[in-house]
Chains A and B, each alone.
Chain A
Amino acid sequence: GEDVEQSLFLSVREGDSSVINCTYTDSSSTYLYWYKQEPGAGLQLLTYIFSNMDMKQDQRLTVLLNKKDKHLSLRIADTQTGDSAIYFCAEKRRESSGDKLTFGTGTRLAVRP
């Protein structure tokens, strides 16, 4: 989506941490999500954060939200080859017309052995 931007590609070595970044423009976002898409597959919900939170941790995943800068990041600790996929951030806006998601452009994560 044109209002949610991500870098296109990230390459990390197995065992290192990965940090995937996302910037958004709409300050009315209520929730922000991270989805994972493996080749030929659907979207798997990884985690989400409410807009009044700064951080959320869930096992190897850490989400950081800087609402002032409209910046969201996903950190994957101890990255494994199975983490290779495209990662999408998405925002849900407080709009009267409903709670459709606006997706970022996706970041392809490649994990090197």
Chain B
Amino acid sequence: GEEVAQTPKHLVRGEGQKAKLYCAPIKGHSYVFWYQQVLKNEFKFLISFQNENVFDETGMPKERFSAKCLPNSPCSLEIQATKLEDSAVYFCASSQRGATSNQPQHFGDGTRLSIL
């Protein structure tokens, strides 16, 4: 597609439950990024993929968070045993090329995760 598509738009989970978020990158884009935006508008980088391979996972919490980008499927971000502090808007972005390229990252509309 021509836009980064994220689903669902809103997700409500009770503390301790699992949450799974999905992202379909723009067709032809080989890089996918996940960011977390918390209440004070701060963006935190979580993880990036080059096609189905993890490219940079330096921002991923060591426990409970995992992500995948499998061929012919939307990418996913999964949080096990959610905590109140996981409440945030999770953005997915995609781009065509890597660090030295001028191809910018295009963002989806985000998934708002609320942990009750």
Contact = CB atoms under 8 A, between A and B. Distances in A.
B73 interface: no
Q: Is the interface on chain A under 10, 10 to 19, 20 to 34, or 35 or more residues?
A: 20 to 34
Given A35-B107, A42-B110, A1 B43 contact: yes
A41 B110 CA distance: 7
A16 interface: no
B87 to A, nearest CB: 15
A69 B93 CA distance: 29
Given A105-B41, A106-B41, A98 B56 contact: yes
Secondary structure dominating the interface of A: strand
A31 to B, nearest CB: 6
Interface of A: 1, 30-31, 33, 35, 41-45, 48, 50, 86, 88, 90, 92-95, 97-103, 105-106
B58 interface: yes
B65 interface: no
Interface of B: 31, 33, 35, 40-43, 45, 48, 55-56, 58-59, 91, 93, 95, 98-102, 104-110
A42 B41 contact: no
In this complex, which of A35, A95, A101 has the most chain B Cβ atoms within 10 angstroms of its Cβ? Answer: A101
A97 B56 contact: yes
Given A30-B100, A43-B91, 20 more contacts: A31-B104, A41-B109, A41-B110, A42-B108, A42-B109, A43-B93, A44-B107, A48-B102, A50-B102, A90-B43, A97-B55, A98-B98, A98-B99, A99-B95, A99-B98, A99-B99, A100-B48, A101-B35, A103-B35, A106-B41
B91 A99 contact: no
Contacts of B99: 30, 92-95, 98-99
Contacts of B31: 99
A100 B40 CA distance: 20
A44 B110 CA distance: 12
Contacts of B55: 97-98
Given A92-B99, A98-B48, A98-B99, A33 B104 contact: yes
